Chain A
Amino acid sequence: MIPSDHFQRFYNEVFKFLESQGEAALEAYWLEISKNQERHTLDLFRQEGFAGMEAYWTQIRHEENCELEIDRDDEKFELRMTKCPSLGKVLDSDAAPMGRYCDHCAGWIGPIMDKLGYHLVYDVIDRKQPQCVMRVFKDAGQAQAAEQDARLLMGWPGKPEVDKKR
């Protein structure tokens, strides 16, 4: 058994292999993970909207030992990760990190938000720092405006780029 605590270090090895196969391989995998994650999120987000997102990421904060803050109002859901254990574990590993490890989060979350008609703005800020800001909007115009403030804006399958600093 690879312990659940060590999934991220396994994930990192998978990413390194897929990156060697090209961008399409990575995106196909993110989509597969996105489908997997639909089991935990799709109905919840569809039925409860931003409250469902808060419930999901509150549980994630607890189970994954994240340090993150959540805010929401009628227009927007915002998650500010201040200590991401996922990237933290990959950086604290005897195996080399995949340089774009952070991209997977938008890679699986983006397609779910697209499916539900929300507009995701995912700012990784810096791929070497375990922090990020995710905003989800109901209104496309507000999302486009928020993209202007992002420091390292992520894309995902179905939303071609943005700013993938390799």
Chain B
Amino acid sequence: MTEDRPLRYHETGNIHLDFHGATNTTIDFIVANYGVAVLHEIFEKVGKDVYADIRAHLIAGDAQELVRHWRHFFERENADFDIAVEGDEIVLTVRRCPAYAHVQKIAPSVSPWFCDQTVKTNEAMAEGSPFEVATEITGPGACRQIIRKRRP
């Protein structure tokens, strides 16, 4: 069963939250020098190439690998979140995003495009699959991420 198998990128050990600050700096640098479209192209590559395994599961009709990924990493970073099945949808509700919260703590400001890492990576992972993964930003450092079957 999938639950017994490690994730493709199953991480253990300590975590270095300051990497979220470097992501924030990187996002602003790319937008300032190359524009938002290039930023989105980079996130598309992350979604399709780095997360090729999750994408392959989605294309095969299996959304659980993405759910396992969410649970593993949001637990590792001590997020305030839950994952629920609501009708035909799987909904990740993030009430406190650890990435956003850490950047607020260590950087002068959170990039206006910070959450694009989630929105665009989700879109790219799901592209070409029977699912869409939509992201609704519900507040600063809060969102809902929804896996649902695409409408024909």
Contacts and interface: CB of A to CB of B under 8 A. Distances in A.
Interface of A: 1-7, 9-11, 13-14, 16-17, 21, 25, 28-29, 32-33, 35-36, 39-40, 60, 62-65, 89, 92-96
Mostly, the A contact residues are helix
A36 B50 contact: no
A90 B9 CA distance: 11
B11 A3 contact: yes
A64 B75 CA distance: 17
A91 to B, nearest CB: 13
A13 B14 CA distance: 23
Contact of A32 (B18, B25, B117, B121): B25
The residue among A3, A25, A32, A94 with the most chain B CB atoms within 10 A of its own CB is A3
B8 A5 contact: no
B14 A65 contact: yes
Nearest to A85: B13
B52 interface: yes
Given A39-B106, A62-B14, A2 B117 contact: yes
A10 B23 contact: yes
Given A17-B41, A36-B22, A64-B16, A1 B50 contact: no
A95 B49 contact: yes
Q: 6 shortest A-B CB distances, which residue pairs?
A: A7-B19, A95-B49, A63-B16, A3-B73, A94-B52, A65-B13
Interface string B59-102: 00000000000000110110100000000000000100111100
Contacts of A4: 15-20, 77, 99
Interface string B7-42: 011010111111111110110011001100010011
